Structure 1
Amino acid sequence: MKAIIAEKPSVAREIAQILNANHRKDGYFEGNGYCVTWALGHLVSLGMPEDYGIRGFDKASLPIFPNPFILTPRKTKQANSKNYQSDPPALKQLKIIKNVFSQCTSIIAATDAGREGELIFRYIYEYLQCNKPFERLWISSLTEKAIQDGFKNLKNGSDFDGLYKAAKARSEADWLVGINATQALSIAANNDVYSLGRVQTPTLALICKRFQENKDFKQKKYWQIQLQHRKDYLNFTSLSNMQWEDKKQAEKILKAIEREGRATVEDVSINTIKEQSPLLFDLTELQKEANRKLGLSADEVLQTAQSLYEKKFITYPRTGSKYIPEDLWQEIPELIRILNQTEPFKPAISILKFGNFNKRIVNDLKVTDHHGLLPTTKIPSALNASEKVIYDMIAFRLLESLSEHCTKQVSHITIKIHHYEFSINGSKILHKGWRAIKGLLSGEMSLNQHNNSKNNSNNSQTQEPQLTELPEFKKGDELKISTAELQEKLTSPPKLYTEADLLSAMENAGRHIDDKEQQKTLASIGIGTPATRASIIETLINRNYITRKSKTLIPTDKGEKVYDLIKDQKIANVQMTAEWEMELHQIEAKEINSKQFITDIKNYTAEITQELLSINIPQENIPEIKCLKCQQHNLIIKDKIVKCPDEQCQWILFRIICGVQLRIDHITSLITTGKTPLIKNMKSKNGKKFDAFLVLTDQCETIFEFPQNR
């Protein structure tokens, strides 16, 4: 009997059906010589500090370096308590898995084929102290054919020791940095609770740094001169190469140009360029594109793609590659023939040249754990709006990648009036190539957006920019100036991060390093992985460090406070986090030893712990206010709550109301007078902003009171 362990019940069910293991038991399937069971995500994880006998923290107890780390069943937080207890469903499933393993002679690991999937299986295997031989099912889709082929080509479990060591090292590093840094800063902040992490804190630093640069930016006015021309029945414009900060000077030049009335062509540059077709999506690129065009969050895209994968409509989504291997290329024509049976793709496929596909996406050396995202041969049905648009993006991107390059004629003309130069730029598509398919996708996405009110405002983003066709020019030509006007413009601040921009910054963190040699080494290394970046953003939101405002990510007051405390500390260093990611890749490739990596992490942890403990944090001037309900005890005022310490009284007020954190003066006024000052820019459940007073009732409950003019 062989045991098979999948990551989720749904995947276990698919595998069991294919293997004819059709007898349903409690927590597993059985039959045909197999027992097919499942994990429930991370059933086993690294123990919490209390598992090592640590109940409280002080300066003397930090840093904590468990040796060895303890594995424990997944824990959940108890209601109305800071304590954690073992999750009952996790305990039950672990008992079932132990029973299944005990019945079998060997094991097949069928958890997701990636770093986290490997960790899920290995932690269970270690926690249960299992020593039975195991093999690895390594597949990139859940179609019947992929699963059958995977079982015909099972890998030796030891082939993935490097992947496991990298996953284990990442898990332990996150524990060491997260637990110690969080406790150190909380102690320095007089036990106010802050959360720091190996990846989340540098990511927060990126957002806060950009936000402060944007806020501190001083806009300046400047002026440019735009001219209107007409030649060969075509109207076009030219723009001055110079910008003037002095309006009077610009007006003087404008008058001189108007008097002259004509310009001379100084230089003509016309180039034919080829725009290569795009590569396939990896997860990060899919998240960026869906955020830009549809306003979907990175997490929404990941969850949607995961759903499509589990329904067998696309290949494994948590990929960092945009290529496919040579042996998969032979399956592409059949995949295109199947896509051609569905209406949305027929017009695009009619543009493709069968038998002469662009082979740019084939590169064995650039395929990582998984190849680029592809649709499978299973045609989708009954998709919801999000699933349909993500599926269409992936399918159309495949069609684009197989298409010919786009050919453009790009013109840059320089003209001169007196000694002032103006530019005329134009572009003409000579051969659409892959852009013809991109245009069809834009129409599909616009239609979906029209049916999805959440994304109505983004329709314009799916349209290709209009290209300017120009008449013929030659050096020495004279151009008449039809009209001339002065244009007032403003310098632009650094753009606030959208999720797409932040994903790019995380993906390319190594490119922003000042040291040029290090930049070369780390250029392609990011912080986090394609599989984890969405969860990092969501973690920062859930911890009230950042918030979504329209399409941008901005720090909250709490997020800025944390950033101000740690911005000069090593824990906010993006470069160091990128270097760690590179080392984790090297551990996976068995190029370096994971033990040395953990030793370096411990040394780093000791440094940042001391740095954070030594921070001098000015305390919020918190007044002593008697509880209005019991009139006996002074209220405890924390970052998120105001509460009475008396367990009998239990009066509590949450400080964050409709997205706004109550200031100390709000709380003081509310308790002493029964009413706050006017609180502005609160946000209702439907996203609308409003202003209101917060008022205490006779029962010491809070209600809104709106201004009379509202």
Structure 2
Amino acid sequence: MKTVIAEKPSVAREIAALLGAVDKSDGYYSGNGYFVTWAFGHLIALGMPSDYGISGFGVEYLPIIPNPFVLTVRKIKLEGKYIDDKNAVRQLKVIERLFKNSTEIIIATDAGREGELIFRYIYEYLGIEKPLKRLWISSLTEKAICTGFENLKEGSEFEGLYHAARARSRADWLVGINASQALNVAAGQGIYSLGRVQTPTLAMICRRFLENKAFVVKPYFQIELQHNKQFVSFTSRSKNRWETRREAQQVWNSIERNGSAEVVSVDTKTVTEQPPLLFDLTGLQKEANKLLNLSADETLKIAQLLYEKQFITYPRTGSRYIPEDVWADIPKLINGLKVREKYHCAELVLKSGGLNKRILNDLRVTDHHGLLVTEKVPSSLSAKESAIYDLIAFRLLEAVSEVCIKNVTTAELQVLHHDFYIKGSSVVEPGWRAVKGDFNNKDSSLDVEINSVIVELPELKAGDILKIKSGTILEKQTRPPSLFTEASLLGAMEQAGNDIEDKDARGVLKGIGIGTPATRAAIIETLFNREYIVRNKKSLVPTDKGLQVYELVKDFNIADVAMTAQWELALRNIELGNLDAALFQKDLEEYSTVITKELLQSELNKQPDILCPRCKENYLSVKEKFVKCKGENCGWIQFRMICGIQLSLCEIEKLVNYGRTDLIKGMKSKSGKNFDAFIVLDEDGKSSFEFKVKDK
């Protein structure tokens, strides 16, 4: 008998049916020479400090460097204590019995780093040595599974993948456990955590937030002119910016008296927009966050469901290309989409005279190719599942379509001695843009960035005199660095190595992100669960707790994107067999010792000294829900949650020290309406709202 072990019961059920293992038992299927069983994700994990006889947060135990690492059954928390998960224990006994009664084990967990680790930890924990084969497939369709079993790979081919997965697991344990426990010892109260990827991600969010807050917004003014030629209306805009409305008004008065503008130069270029590549997981998560407002974690869960229902290929991919042997299936996939009315453009794509092979690249495919739909087209899905499926399906149709060709025109004008410009574009060949009929959205994946709005212009040439129908003074403001959304944060994590300041390090680490496509969503969710960040509409904003941790660790290597990117590079090299996992672990052990010592010497809970606005004698005590005077006879208190907005520590300081906060946006009245206001204090320390006076 051969035992096949899948990652989940649903996958095991599909495999068992195709193998003819139709007899259902407790925890497995059997028949036709096969046992087919399953895990429930990670049944086995690295032991916690208590498994090494360490309890509490005693400084005498730090750093904890296991030798050897201990594997334990998955734990669950019950009445404040961690105990073995009974379901995990029961399933492990089933797996152990089947392994003992088998001549061969076929690994059918998800074909990736985490899937490999799930099986290998079970295999190592049980200590049963049998010949290993590997099912390596990119979709769960009947065809893919049958083809996979006809071409099983030797388990030894994936030793590098296993060593990289185990090294990642141990690295996260060494840094996370030691740094978190050291931080909790230093804090003396509260629950804090640090992590190999979690902390540099928090640092990116906090740094951007502080840059945004510190940015001084300055108003500026531009002039926009309206023209008409050959029955086409269009506008031009001043190149200059004026600091005051008065200056802009004086210029406009002169221009209005002049009444016309001269065309100085006209430049028209033909621009070719290549179609976007297929989605990898990070790209799908970014697009779903921007268009559907779905979190990265939600998108991954929905994509995983679509994969298990056999509608899409393996979602945890880091590639946007396909190999040569998959190309022959592309016309079949597109042909299958034609049965749904919403994909009527599939017919046009097939008839366009040849599919674009831009996504075909064997060298750019990693463990799995870019996201594709399968030949099994869904007839009924939930709203969110349908939306994610549509993103993947339409992206496939776009990716194999022809290029979009546009004419982009830039004209320079002069009015008196002031320079103006006009930009416009027109579509020559719609190409891939015709799939959705959308010609105005700029896609971050495109190779060419052009003016994204289609503006038709009349024929213009140098020397033309254009009459000025009217003019408008545009009031604008300089923009601070944008706060991260989940989409932009995923992009920053993916491209972290590109932004490293050190030139040599940037050359080595370019294209190396922090985390992997499969883990980035979980990292962001961890920051939410730790109460380090919150959502403010679409933006990710650090809490006081998150800023507190950032201020403590911002100068340590644990918050350094460069170091984390170097670790990710090392893990890749371990997988490829170019680096010994033992050397990597030794480096992490040494680093864990250093960061533990640094954190134990730090002060986390040092609060700013803010004098009470009422008594002017005692300092304030800052709590999570309120701030109050430490003086027994004063009694001044200010609650931090006001109309749905939590006042940050920075806003509390401004309120008390200067009598007012900055403009706070997005507060909600009792009737549910949003409003913006300043919070101000009077001489007695009572707070009230002050509303911004709008210009007439």
Structure-to-structure mapping, 1:90-101, within 5 angstroms: 90-101=88-99
Q: Do the aligned residues in 2 keep the contact of 1:679 with 1:691 (CA within 8 Å)?
A: no
User: Cα–Cα, structure 1 residues 36 and 54, in superposed 2: closer, same or farther, change >3 Å?
Assistant: same
1:12 alignment counterpart: 12
Structure-to-structure mapping, 1:541-690, within 5 angstroms: 541-619=528-606, 661-663=624-626, 665=628, 679-682=641-644, 689=668
The match for 1:136 among 130, 134, 138 is 134
User: Cα–Cα, structure 1 residues 441 and 489, in superposed 2: closer, same or farther, change >3 Å?
Assistant: closer
User: Identity percentage over the alignment?
Assistant: 56
Q: Do the aligned residues in 1 keep the contact of 2:625 with 2:640 (CA within 8 Å)?
A: no
Listed one character per residue, the Cα deviations across residues 301-353 of structure 1 (whole Å, up to 9, x for unaligned) are 11100000000000000001111100111111122222212222123432443
2:64 alignment counterpart: 64
Listed one character per residue, the Cα deviations across residues 92-151 of structure 1 (whole Å, up to 9, x for unaligned) are 111110011011011000000000000000000000012111110000000011000000
Structure-to-structure mapping, 1:346-365, within 5 angstroms: 346-353=344-351, 356-365=354-363
Does 2:521 match 1:534?
yes
Does 2:111 match 1:113?
yes
Which stretch shifts more, 557-566 or 371-380? Answer: 557-566
Listed one character per residue, the Cα deviations across residues 508-527 of structure 1 (whole Å, up to 9, x for unaligned) are 11111112232222221111
User: Cα–Cα, structure 1 residues 55 and 365, in superposed 2: closer, same or farther, change >3 Å?
Assistant: same
The match for 1:237 among 220, 235, 238 is 235
Q: After TM superposition, give the deviation of residue 397 of structure 1 in Å.
A: 0.7
Could you tell me how far apart the structure 2 residues matched to 1:20 and 1:511 are?
50
Listed one character per residue, the Cα deviations across residues 636-665 of structure 1 (whole Å, up to 9, x for unaligned) are xx99xxxxxxxxxxxxxxx9xxxxx41353
Could you tell me how far apart the structure 2 residues matched to 1:618 and 1:361 are?
52
Listed one character per residue, the Cα deviations across residues 257-280 of structure 1 (whole Å, up to 9, x for unaligned) are 222222222221100011001111
Could you tell me how far apart the structure 2 residues matched to 1:140 and 1:188 are?
47
Q: Do the aligned residues in 1 keep the contact of 2:224 with 2:237 (CA within 8 Å)?
A: yes
1:220 alignment counterpart: 218
Listed one character per residue, the Cα deviations across residues 617-648 of structure 1 (whole Å, up to 9, x for unaligned) are 344699xxxxxxxxxxxxxxx99xxxxxxxxx
Question: Per the alignment, in what secondary structure is the counterpart of residue 438 of structure 1?
Answer: coil
Listed one character per residue, the Cα deviations across residues 208-238 of structure 1 (whole Å, up to 9, x for unaligned) are 1111111121110111111111112111111
Does 2:411 match 1:424?
no
Q: Do the aligned residues in 2 keep the contact of 1:680 with 1:690 (CA within 8 Å)?
A: no
Q: Do the aligned residues in 2 keep the contact of 1:3 with 1:100 (CA within 8 Å)?
A: yes
2:302 alignment counterpart: 304
Give the counterpart letter for 2:258 in structure 1: E
Listed one character per residue, the Cα deviations across residues 377-412 of structure 1 (whole Å, up to 9, x for unaligned) are 112132100111111111111111111000000011
User: Cα–Cα, structure 1 residues 666 and 554, in superposed 2: closer, same or farther, change >3 Å?
Assistant: farther
Q: Do the aligned residues in 2 keep the contact of 1:166 with 1:585 (CA within 8 Å)?
A: yes
Could you tell me how far apart the structure 1 residues matched to 2:406 and 2:638 are?
62
Could you tell me how far apart the structure 1 residues matched to 2:608 and 2:330 are?
66
Question: Per the alignment, in what secondary structure is the counterpart of residue 665 of structure 1?
Answer: strand
2:682 alignment counterpart: none
Q: Do the aligned residues in 1 keep the contact of 2:280 with 2:370 (CA within 8 Å)?
A: yes
User: Cα–Cα, structure 1 residues 225 and 7, in superposed 2: closer, same or farther, change >3 Å?
Assistant: same
Q: Do the aligned residues in 1 keep the contact of 2:4 with 2:106 (CA within 8 Å)?
A: yes
Q: After TM superposition, give the deviation of residue 688 of structure 1 in Å.
A: 9.5
Structure-to-structure mapping, 1:305-344, within 5 angstroms: 305-344=303-342
Could you tell me how far apart the structure 2 residues matched to 1:688 and 1:217 are?
22
User: Cα–Cα, structure 1 residues 151 and 426, in superposed 2: closer, same or farther, change >3 Å?
Assistant: same
Could you tell me how far apart the structure 2 residues matched to 1:41 and 1:539 are?
18
Structure-to-structure mapping, 1:172-571, within 5 angstroms: 172-353=170-351, 356-439=354-437, 466-571=453-558
Q: Do the aligned residues in 2 keep the contact of 1:352 with 1:402 (CA within 8 Å)?
A: no
Question: Per the alignment, in what secondary structure is the counterpart of residue 439 of structure 1?
Answer: coil
Listed one character per residue, the Cα deviations across residues 678-700 of structure 1 (whole Å, up to 9, x for unaligned) are 8423489xx995679xxxxxxxx
Q: Do the aligned residues in 1 keep the contact of 2:331 with 2:350 (CA within 8 Å)?
A: no
Q: After TM superposition, give the deviation of residue 24 of structure 1 in Å.
A: 0.7
The match for 1:148 among 133, 142, 146 is 146
Could you tell me how far apart the structure 2 residues matched to 1:397 and 1:91 are?
43
Could you tell me how far apart the structure 2 residues matched to 1:677 and 1:311 are?
49
Give the counterpart letter for 1:597 in structure 2: F
Q: After TM superposition, give the deviation of residue 677 of structure 1 in Å.
A: 5.4
Give the counterpart letter for 1:218 in structure 2: V
User: Cα–Cα, structure 1 residues 498 and 339, in superposed 2: closer, same or farther, change >3 Å?
Assistant: same
Question: Per the alignment, in what secondary structure is the counterpart of residue 463 of structure 2?
Answer: coil
TM-score, with structure 1 as normaliser: 0.85
Listed one character per residue, the Cα deviations across residues 571-595 of structure 1 (whole Å, up to 9, x for unaligned) are 1111111111111111111111111
Q: Do the aligned residues in 1 keep the contact of 2:440 with 2:452 (CA within 8 Å)?
A: no
Q: After TM superposition, give the deviation of residue 354 of structure 1 in Å.
A: 5.8
Listed one character per residue, the Cα deviations across residues 549-582 of structure 1 (whole Å, up to 9, x for unaligned) are 2111111121111112111211111111111111
Listed one character per residue, the Cα deviations across residues 483-507 of structure 1 (whole Å, up to 9, x for unaligned) are 2232211111111111101110111
Could you tell me how far apart the structure 1 residues matched to 2:49 and 2:57 are?
10
Q: After TM superposition, give the deviation of residue 417 of structure 1 in Å.
A: 2.0
The match for 1:104 among 84, 98, 102 is 102
User: Cα–Cα, structure 1 residues 679 and 593, in superposed 2: closer, same or farther, change >3 Å?
Assistant: closer
Q: After TM superposition, give the deviation of residue 668 of structure 1 in Å.
A: 11
2:654 alignment counterpart: none
Q: Do the aligned residues in 2 keep the contact of 1:188 with 1:612 (CA within 8 Å)?
A: yes
Which stretch shifts more, 430-439 or 170-179? Answer: 430-439
Give the counterpart letter for 1:681 in structure 2: C
Question: Per the alignment, in what secondary structure is the counterpart of residue 595 of structure 2?
Answer: helix
